[in-house]
Structure 1
Amino acid sequence: MELIENKFDETRLGFAALLKFFQHEARFPKQKFEIPRTILAYIAKQLSLDPNLYAKYDWEGRSIKRHRVQIREFFGFREITVQDVEEMTQWLSEYVLYHDQDPTHIETFVHNRFRELKLEPPSTDRIDRLIRSARRFFSTANNTNFTYLAQFNFI
């Protein structure tokens, strides 16, 4: 409640909706209306606000950027860096791809790992690129290991 006490109407409802979505999903919604109406209605009722105010919440301006920063800080998360992406690619190739090649499973592992590390996940497109990169890295590493083992008659 302290985080929303200085916000009013649609800004208060928008911030609260982002906060609860992030708390549950460990990411922000991709689109304004990704948050179900029933959830918005419930949050609005708790705040004694009209749920229709959410439609007025500015999805593109400076306020939402500040709100995202506040929410990340509140939960102890941060945005990812290039180094984080490289480390995730390495982690996938070392710990996941050896056992599981299912794209849906891999994506779940990635999201869970970002949550564990308290990193806000990137866009879906960027996660897809990260997974493709990890698969290439894994494939190359395995071919190198296979060639090395064959060279010394270990296989």
Structure 2
Amino acid sequence: MDELVEHWTVLDDELELVAGKRGGTRLGFALPLKHYTRHGRFPRGRAEFPDEVVAFVARQMKVPAAEFDSYQWTGSTIEYHRTRIREHLGFRGCSAQDAEKLTA
């Protein structure tokens, strides 16, 4: 339980990011956000989330855990979520100029 609380509690500033989102989309934003803060990368899909993690975050989001199963792992919604998560955490995608600097 301590690990759930330490790594999967949605903090106040993160709650602001999920405001306005509903159902599976709300949970689908919160779980990848917490995954990214813990692992430094986005999850590849639902299989990366143990059921107890989904249930723990779902209770915080006041959304049934089963709604996470309807979250779409491809498309514009998840791309938008990833962009917002990166912005919130102060990251951005690597540009061609960044790659050139790294190789120089």
Asked if TM exceeds 0.5, the reply is yes
Q: How far is the alpha carbon of 1:89 from its aligned partner? A: 5.8
Give yes or no for the alignment of 1:12 onto 2:30. no
Unaligned runs of 5+ in 2: 1-14
CA distance in 2: counterparts of 1:32 and 1:65, whole angstroms: 16
Of 50, 68, 75 in structure 1, the residue corresponding to residue 89 of structure 2 is 75
Give the distance between the partners of 1:83 and 1:36, measured in 2 at CA. Answer: 38
Identity over the aligned pairs, expressed in percent? 39
CA–CA distance in structure 2, aligned partners of residues 15 and 67 of structure 1: 6
Read off the aligned partner of 1:48 and give its amino acid letter: K
Unaligned runs of 5+ in 1: 91-155
Q: Over residues 10-31 of structure 1, what are the superposed CA-to-partner deviations in whole Å (9 max), with x where a residue is unaligned?
A: 0000000011011111210123
C-alpha distance in 1, partners of 2:50/2:95?
A: 30
Alignment correspondent of 2:44: 30
Deviation at 1:82, TM superposition (A): 3.6
Aligned amino acid, residue 23 of structure 2: D
**Alignment RMSD:** 1.7
Give the counterpart letter for 2:19 in structure 1: E
Please give the secondary structure, in 2, of the residue aligned with 1:78: coil
Q: Per chain length, whose mean CA-contact separation is higher, i.e. which structure has more relative contact order (CA < 8 Å, sep 6+)?
A: 2
**1:41/1:88 Cα in 2 relative to 1: closer, same or farther (>3 Å)?**
farther
2:16 corresponds to which letter in structure 1? E
Q: Give me the TM-score of the superposition, normalised by structure 1.
A: 0.53
Deviation per CA, 1:48-94: give whole Å up to 9, x if none.
2111111101111211111000000000001113444455567xxxx
Relative to the length of structure 2, the TM-score reads: 0.76
- Map 1:6-155; keep pairs closer than 5 Å: 6-85=20-99, 87-88=101-102
Deviates more, 1:25-34 or 1:81-90: 81-90
Which amino acid is the alignment partner of residue 13 of structure 1? Answer: L
